A and B are shown apart, each in its own frame.
Chain A
Amino acid sequence: AQSVTQPDIHITVSEGASLELRCNYSYGATPYLFWYVQSPGQGLQLLLKYFSGDTLVQGIKGFEAEFKRSQSSFNLRKPSVHWSDAAEYFCAVAAIYSSASKIIFGSGTRLSIRP
């Protein structure tokens, strides 16, 4: 069965520091992978997605993620965080050729930014 694990519930980084949020997935074939961000009081906004091809995916707001099949990971990175990046981040996986009903979300990682 598909599953997504985000091992870090809460991370605090200093403004200007680099960021990496971890995501591990479980799926038997090549998955579709997503990162969403939820700012306080807001809905989920798509940051980036991976379907195939280049394993390093660029997204909005300066984020990128790298798909590593050997590690079943899809970690989100940003070289220098800004105070406005404080939010909750969700990794999600969908089965390829799926009916799109089987997108599974991780439990989320809350990011706080230290001034």
Chain B
Amino acid sequence: KAGVTQTPRYLIKTRGQQVTLSCSPISGHRSVSWYQQTPGQGLQFLFEYFSETQRNKGNFPGRFSGRQFSNSRSEMNVSTLELGDSALYLCASSPPGTANEKLFFGSGTQLSVL
């Protein structure tokens, strides 16, 4: 079974631009969560989607948004990029019926904002 796939693996953007990251969960997983990882802040929860609906949300500004498609694939978008948005963005999917007890993570998208 294929794991969680995130694309692209690396991104370089400049301040003010916007970016879209993609995540394909493990087949059969309907819950997708997004995290931001930085050396200083560790892992910060962004949001979670289930059946195309946002089910949980972290404490990030409205510039960070996401969506989920009917095939459970998810995208997150960051608009008006700031230098502080440079981070590793991790996507995780969770098997049904587990209430996100066990997350399967992708390798992440490394975003650099110049």
* Chains A and B bind each other: no
Instruction: Give residues in B with beta carbon < 8 Å to A.
Output: none
Instruction: Give residues in A with beta carbon < 8 Å to B.
Output: none
